[in-house]
Structure 1
């Protein structure tokens, strides 16, 4: 069983997307938080071949209390917890945490438990029955993170509850300053 988290000292404080928040966010933040498609595909295109996944931790663990609650799991239910950095060359762009219950692994693509350095998004967005059920947001201060990929400043993140096949899973993504700069470059190039 892996440690509770290779990314966080404690669970981020998530909130449901509020009416009016969209308009108050800078455009670069907004473009990542509300990206409706595959984040992996968007990053791969923007990185032009320099994109890869660095696995920070992966294994069976107890999710945070809020994650268990959102997934409707009984207390002490272990899940496959995967934490990665989505990278452009040696520069982290996005920190991600995925929580996949055992029941979802049995019902969905069994390859979800053997991703290695393959991006989760490449598998998820290939599933025709994938649907986002809920979107939550968080502004996480730098001190909440730990580990080698910890950002030096507060960052925005999103947590998506997806239904896939006969199960659900959570995907949490935190957008580092390098990703925001990448979004600016992409907007200028349009």
Structure 2
């Protein structure tokens, strides 16, 4: 079971003031949103999706070396010139895209048990993380992505109809033997449309 009760700064091994540059990401969901139950899910999002949508699948969109986004660099302890291993998938349920998942791991952290992440393909990352009792998880952070955010733009490459729609996202840091992995999940409208239907 992945541990949740770790301070974000302690998990990263950095002082509290370092988090000031992450102000756009919030420690709680502000305001009313139909996505709240999904955003606040503390267990495996993969397991929750499988429970809601019997026909669940993972579509691998991309995985390669690239520069992390600006709001990811300090969390992963890397500078702007460094590249990281980035994996992006679409989690689908009953034939519809429900969640876009974006995972980033710095080159210095892609070793030991984490090295296997380069070859998991269409296997759900959440299933691997929550099956390992040694993996620790930091607190969830939340943000409403507007059209200028690169993650919003990536989602819209696959779903252009969402270009004018803010998208709720959450992220959390996973740690295994001091090696870090950042996972961000962007929730698509179909996630709650099915629930409300």
TM superposition score category, shorter chain reference: 0.7 to 0.9
What are the superposed Cα offsets for residues 152-177 of structure 1, whole Å, 9 maximum, x if unpaired?
A: 22211001112123311111101111
Q: CA RMSD in A?
A: 2.3
Structure 2: give runs of 5+ residues left out of the alignment.
1-22
Quick one: structure 1 residues 31 and 78, their matched pair in 2 at CA, closer, same or farther if it must change by over 3 Å?
same
Question: The residue matched to 1:117 in structure 2 has which SS?
Answer: coil
Instruction: Number of aligned residue pairs: give it.
Output: 169
Confirm or deny that 1:170 pairs with 2:177. Answer: no
Confirm or deny that 1:113 pairs with 2:125. Answer: no
Q: 1:37 aligns with which of 20, 43, 61?
A: 43
Question: The residue matched to 1:181 in structure 2 has which SS?
Answer: helix
Report deviation, 1:90.
3.0
Confirm or deny that 1:160 pairs with 2:167. Answer: no
Q: How does 1:1-190 map to 2 (within 5 A)?
A: 14-18=24-28, 21=30, 24-26=31-33, 28-48=34-54, 50-142=55-147, 144-145=152-153, 146-150=156-160, 152=162, 153-184=165-196
Report the Cα distance in structure 1 between the residues aligned to 2:73 and 2:63, rounded to whole angstroms: 17
Quick one: structure 1 residues 78 and 126, their matched pair in 2 at CA, closer, same or farther if it must change by over 3 Å?
same
Report the Cα distance in structure 1 between the residues aligned to 2:161 and 2:114, rounded to whole angstroms: 32
Kept in 2, the 8 Å contact 1:142–1:151? The answer is no
TM-score by structure 1 length?
0.79
Report the Cα distance in structure 1 between the residues aligned to 2:181 and 2:63, rounded to whole angstroms: 15
Report the Cα distance in structure 2 between the residues aligned to 1:98 and 1:130, rounded to whole angstroms: 15
Report the Cα distance in structure 2 between the residues aligned to 1:134 and 1:150, rounded to whole angstroms: 31
What are the superposed Cα offsets for residues 98-123 of structure 1, whole Å, 9 maximum, x if unpaired?
A: 00123332132432111111111111
Kept in 2, the 8 Å contact 1:130–1:164? The answer is yes
Question: The residue matched to 1:45 in structure 2 has which SS?
Answer: helix
Quick one: structure 1 residues 17 and 151, their matched pair in 2 at CA, closer, same or farther if it must change by over 3 Å?
farther
Report the Cα distance in structure 1 between the residues aligned to 2:192 and 2:135, rounded to whole angstroms: 26
Report the Cα distance in structure 2 between the residues aligned to 1:87 and 1:114, rounded to whole angstroms: 20
Question: The residue matched to 1:116 in structure 2 has which SS?
Answer: coil
Report the Cα distance in structure 1 between the residues aligned to 2:184 and 2:49, rounded to whole angstroms: 16
Quick one: structure 1 residues 165 and 127, their matched pair in 2 at CA, closer, same or farther if it must change by over 3 Å?
farther
